[in-house]
Amino acid sequence: MELHNRDVRTDVRELGALVGDVLAAQASTEAYETVETLRNAAIAYRRGDASNRDDLHEAVDGLSTTREEVVARAFTTYFELINLAEERERVRAVRNADDGTALHDSFDATIAEFAENGVDAAELEELLADVLIEPTFTAHPTEARRSTVKSKLQSIANHLEELDERNLTDRERRAVWRDVSAEVTSLWGTRQVRQRAPEPEDEARNVQWYLENTLFDVVGDAYEEFEETISKEYDDVDCPKLFEFRSWAGSDRDGNPFVTPEVTDETLERQREIAVEKYRDRCKRLSAVLSQDGNRYADGDALARSLAADAERFPTVVEEARERYPDEPYRQKLRLMRERLDRVNDVRPGEYPDGDAFLDDLDIIAESLRADGQESVLESFVEPFRRQVDTFGLTLASLDLRDHRENHTEAVAEAVGVEGVDYRGMDESERVDFLTEAILQEDPVIDLDEPGDVSETTERVLQRFESFAEWQEEYGQQAIDTYCISMTEEPSHVLEVLFLSDQVGVVSLPDHCAVDVVPLLETESALNGAERILGTLFENEAYATALETRNEVQEVMLGYSDSNKENGFLAANWDLYENQRRIARFCREEDVTLRLFHGRGGSISRGGGPMNEALLALPNETVTGQVKFTEQGEAIAEKYANPRIAERELEQMLDAQIRARKEANEEPVENVPDRWVEAMEIMAPAARETYRDLLNTDGFVSYFEQATPISVVENLNLGSRPASRSGERSVEDLRAIPWVFSWTQTRLILPGWYAVASGIDAYLDEVGEEEGLATLREMFEEWPFFRTTLDNASLALARTEPEIAAEYADLADDDLRERFFPELVGEYERGRELVLEISGRDQLLRREWLEESLGRRNPYVDPLNLLQANLLGRTHRTDEEERTLRLTVNGIAAGMKNTG
């Protein structure tokens, strides 16, 4: 049976033609012809029909200011629509797989493989019980599109789905396409670039949108699919809770002064309101289904007892429910459940205290239906609802608090200074001793109501911790129970957060600790010092007691972005891999369960790439079953905007994690041959040295400023957080996102491959080329870590276009260009050569669909790059030219499908 009426080529062709029609109608025929001239010139060069880009340069140079804006808008709109076409193709692949065509990385194939290889039901249940996957949404500013634009694109996507999946008459098809045309016309007239930076509340609502409108419904479908898959091979294996969703949006204070306690409170309140409203709606729907006559069906002892308890709690409401639903016990129960939900945000007593209490009532209904032999009703209507409540609770997504360790140190020093304690004058050992005693003593050390004359930073930190206690009391501990410390370097940085939590009652040892304190290790020194930091904490009386109350689970966050920016791609990946192994081994020796929190960005250089491959490439020692990772910016939209793609993402995560957990059980300590480790220990330091030499070379920062659009990126209003930590222009101070974003715009994806070649060459020089290449090929074939690292570098190399990057290099002073650009291109070319030689491939891209995508996009991105470089080269730009320049940034980001 044919599931679809269209294919990606049809979508691309018809949407591209529609952009041309709208351009001609909304601008002019001449504008359309100008865009066509640029497009054809770019295609001619890419196809080899032209020996150079002179015609394209001439066309770009000849544009008027007004026509420049039209060109930028035309290509940006084209890419936005082509992205929808490619998303639709991903949906086709998923649906075809449901209809019998196997997909790569499918849970179905893994379960079949387990059964074939003799994995019994008990082992599978144990594997599933170990797994808990926690995608954590952040507000990091890597989404270039306005929410208004995204909304219009979503509407167009819905129309494309209708055209593709429904059997329409010709008249109906014309009507849908007319609506698509209208939406594209409206999109053309919509401002693409934000005029103001989004506020933290906007970022929180953006994350909440995906939770509310996609994931909430997808979760029930995903579990149903998982259970059906398991039942094909195994009897009586229950699928436990596998996913939780968390968020930083509205609670991440690091570097963002605009995330105030009021913002966090509003975020928590709104998320609870969304969850409650969703459950009220589901209760109403379920009430329409569960209309069974109590005289015909046994209502079960548990249901009868529950209704009796409700009668004592809400006698008036119970009486009303009995009158409205006589002899319909399920409907009576659901009416009482809606009443308790109504009271969650009400001053009246009797509300559900948390999601578990609500789930208990659903379980009573489920138990009664099962006893009545109504399994089909249970599976179709109640079980998906149960999964939603089990996953989202009354919180929708638990929040993590985060701030920079310097702020906690300053707050502690000032607050205890008022009490006569010279915290600043203490060394690390003395600070640990002081904090330990302070946490363990019963009486508070500082007066939070009257902290004295303290700085604004201290006042903000103390206010946040006071609010922390209030949030847990109001919304429940599970709503906000994690505190992440950026740039952790010492044990005292962790104990400072534990101490402040103790002062407000979030912690009260030895019996109560309602917070996971999470060190974020992101610098080379912190990663290498992880065992020292954790060892001191695990031996510390106060921290060990807190850890015991948290079930001996220690969460450690690893920072991929700043590690890469500090050390370069190859060295950062090796540092993270080796230190994960060391941390995991140490935690195992200490009988502490490690939960790694991977702080990954969307781009390759910031830890991005396919999540399932990343999970499978983790060292066996680290795979405890629990795993947490960040999802940010445009990656959230790409993964979770479409329900079918979102469900596929969850399946791939589960598939990778359960396979990785099984392998870890079979081989707890990964067998990595010494010669592989030795190879990495030669390559990584050499790559680090090459990378740092570049960054520390006099004039490099100036070259970066002149040869990339960093000055534009910094002012794009992408997010509420400032682009740099202190406002200084230096690579060290610049945040990783604008650093990567700027290079991505120039098509020189330096953060994803620079110094890889230097590292490999250092190894080949050490052991000889023939022997070295043989070992590297073996590593690529047999070691998931090395293969994934090289594949990711290969992708960054494939997306790099030196000829386009040369246009930006020409903007730099001549001496800077000659010093830096040839070196960058040389490293690129050698990296490309080595990756192909080691992988044994004849091209960088290993996925045919990705090659097709880049081939489809590149001729259209080129004109935008040349226009952007042209605009950047102007000493003085008009307001109109500034708007066009910013629009080219959006367009290139859409064309590359990546900002950074």
Strand partners, 247: 137, 399
Answer yes or no: are the C-beta atoms of 520 and 557 closer than 8 Å.
yes
Query: In which element (H, E) is residue 385 found?
Result: helix 383-392
Nearest-angstrom CA–CA distance, 643 and 632: 18
Dig out the tokens for 70 from the structure: 């039209």
How far apart, in whole angstroms, are the C-alpha atoms of residue 455 and residue 411?
A: 8
| Catalytic residue (choose from 140, 333, 493, 662) | 140
Q: Please list, in sequence order, all residues whose beta carbon lies within 8 angstroms of the beta carbon of residue 690, skipping any fewer than 6 positions away.
A: 568, 754, 755, 758, 759, 827
Bridge partners, 483 (sequence order): 401, 517
CA angle 347, 353, 355 (to 5 degrees): 130
Q: Is the peptide bond preceding residue 510 cis, with omega within 30 degrees of 0?
A: yes
Is 598 in the active site? no
Which residues does 10 contact at the CB level (< 8 Å), separation at least 6? none
Q: What is the DSSP secondary-structure string of 876-899? A: S--HHHHHHHHHHHHHHHHHHT--
Sign of CA dihedral 142, 145, 147, 150: negative
Residue 432 host element (H or E): helix 428-440
The token duo for 766 is: 């050490």
Backbone angles phi, psi at 481, to 5 degrees: -135, 15
CB atoms within 10 A of CB 220: 17
Beta-carbon count within 10 A of 471 CB: 25
Write out the H or E segment, with its range, that includes residue 516: strand 516-521
Residue 57 is a catalytic residue: no
Q: Which two tokens stand for residue 403?
A: 């701030």
Contact between residue 533 and residue 491 where contact means Cβ atoms under 8 Å apart: yes
Nearest to 283 by CA among 339, 201, 338: 338
* CA separation, residue 552 to residues 437, 486, 546, 549 (Å): 21, 22, 9, 7
What is the rounded end-to-end Cα distance, in angstroms, of the chain?
41
Instruction: Please count the helices (runs of H) and the strands (runs of E) in the chain.
Output: 40, 10
Confirm if 16 and 860 have CB atoms less than 8 A apart: no
DSSP 55-106: HHHHHHHT--HHHHHHHHHHHHHHHHHHHHHHHHHHHHHHHHHHTT---TT-
Cα separation of 427 and 431, whole Å?
6
CA distance 814 to 822: 12
Cα–Cα–Cα angle for 488, 467, 206, nearest 5°?
75
User: Could you give the count of Cα atoms lying within 13 Å of 612 in the half-sphere of its Cβ?
Assistant: 16
Lookup result for tokens 């170990």: 130
The DSSP bridge partners found for residue 594 are 554
Catalytic residue chosen out of the listed positions 278, 493, 565, 662: 565
Q: How far apart are CA 882 and CA 894, in angstroms?
A: 19
User: Angle of helix 8-26 relative to helix 170-188, nearest 10 degrees?
Assistant: 50
User: CB of 641 within 8 A of CB of 88?
Assistant: no
Using CA atoms, how far apart are residues 509 and 439, in angstroms rounded to an integer? 8
Rounded to whole angstroms, the Cα distance separating 111 from 113 reads 5
DSSP state letter for 631: E
φ, ψ at 798 (rounded to 5°):
-65, -30
Q: Please identify every residue annotated as catalytic.
A: 140, 565
